[in-house]
Chains A and B, each alone.
Chain A
Amino acid sequence: MKTCLVVDDSKVIRKVARHILETLNFTVSEAADGREALNHCMASPPDVVLLDWNMPVMNGMDFLRALRESALPGRPKVVFCTTENGMAHIRAAIEAGADEYVMKPFDRETLESKLQIVGLA
């Protein structure tokens, strides 16, 4: 089964995302900020990270840079999932190594479509 790490400081969003991802046959784990997510990735790298931007402790962008600089074997796909919907943010995310970008609010179809695009659904 494919694995997805959902990183978001909102418990509600994590729950909604988890529910959708499980119907898409993902095994889901959760992290509430970038630091927690990074620890999780070092211990057991997922196939894909669904990543919020604005979070306490370590935000999504800092997590992504750290992840891409790390010596992690394999290269987890990273799909941003954020309310930051401006072109400048999107461009910055792609330049930092994000594979896809979901603009909140999202639904099942959006997530499924973006995961298909990165080759995972």
Chain B
Amino acid sequence: MTAMTATAAATSSVSPKNMAVLTQLLEARTGQQIASYRSWRIDTALKPLMRDRGLATLDQLVSRLLGGHDLPLADQIVDALVNGETSFFREATVFDSILAAVTEVEAQGCRARIWSAGCSTGQEPLSLAMLFAERREETGAPIPEIVATDVSETALSRARAGRFSQFEVQRGLPIRRAMRWFEPEPQGDWIASSDLVRQVVFRPLNLVSPHWPPGRFDVILCRNVLLYLSAEGKAGVFSRLAAALKPDGLLVLGAGETVIGQTSAFEPSRRLRGFYELAVPVPGAK
């Protein structure tokens, strides 16, 4: 109750116009939309930045942003507003299916390529790296090429460092894997082994911009990224994801997500539940 009162009081210190500046900045940079009824989240998420700049209200933060002298501020606001929630082996059964899909690709004599699109702080691609590094130890099979991208440079630099808090290292990660692939520091953080981090190529990439990575992938994970994109935004990303997928490739979305009604580029996979494949174009259809 007190928390709600406090939040309401703090949020009232932003004019609708200034709130729109913030939501438009986020949407312009990432395609992510924040409905105004969730505006309390904006306040919570930007508190650390306000504190850092010695500002008391969101109105003051927006003035500073528009003042144009605080160059890193826009990036920092975007970073603070995107939802980077993630965990190791999120929806663990998905990883078994990926293993199966990769094995199929390799049966044709190719090294598989996997893309984690919207990788946040790296838990998703590092889970893939662990999975295949363990397979390499058991069978000698090579580790697929793993490319991981995100719009947030802050998230990427954390991912590259492979440093996780004690809470993060316990979410989704079995203790045996933590022991095998991470080293605890006296202060409580856990550091991923460089052998693991080296398996992943981390790169900045904005899914809503037209610049895309070269090459095509056998498996693309784009999980819990597109939820808050506009309908057009989603359709655009799906068609570019389709262009980045090999003909027999698979797209993986988050548990609550679907392509149905969003795009005609993909259809549910007949091979693997919860996965999507390129739609076979209907002859004559445009």
Contact = CB atoms under 8 A, between A and B. Distances in A.
Interface of A: 85-87, 90-91, 94, 100-103, 106-107, 109-110, 113-114, 116-117
Contact of B170 (A86, A91, A102): A102
Contacts of B166: 85, 103
A87 to B, nearest CB: 6
B179 A94 contact: yes
Contact of A110 (B92, B171, B174, B184): B171
- Interface of B: prevailing SS: mixed
- Interface of A: prevailing SS: helix
A113 B170 contact: yes
A100 B175 contact: yes
B206 interface: no
Contacts of B37: none
Q: Sort chain B's interface into a size bin.
A: 10 to 19
Nearest to B171: A113
Nearest to B167: A110
A87 B188 CA distance: 11
A101 B169 CA distance: 11
A109 B171 CA distance: 7
Contacts of B175: 90, 94, 100-101
B224 interface: no
18 contacts: A86-B184, A90-B175, A90-B179, A94-B175, A94-B176, A94-B179, A101-B175, A102-B170, A103-B166, A106-B170, A109-B167, A110-B167, A110-B170, A110-B171, A113-B171, A116-B92, A117-B172, A117-B174
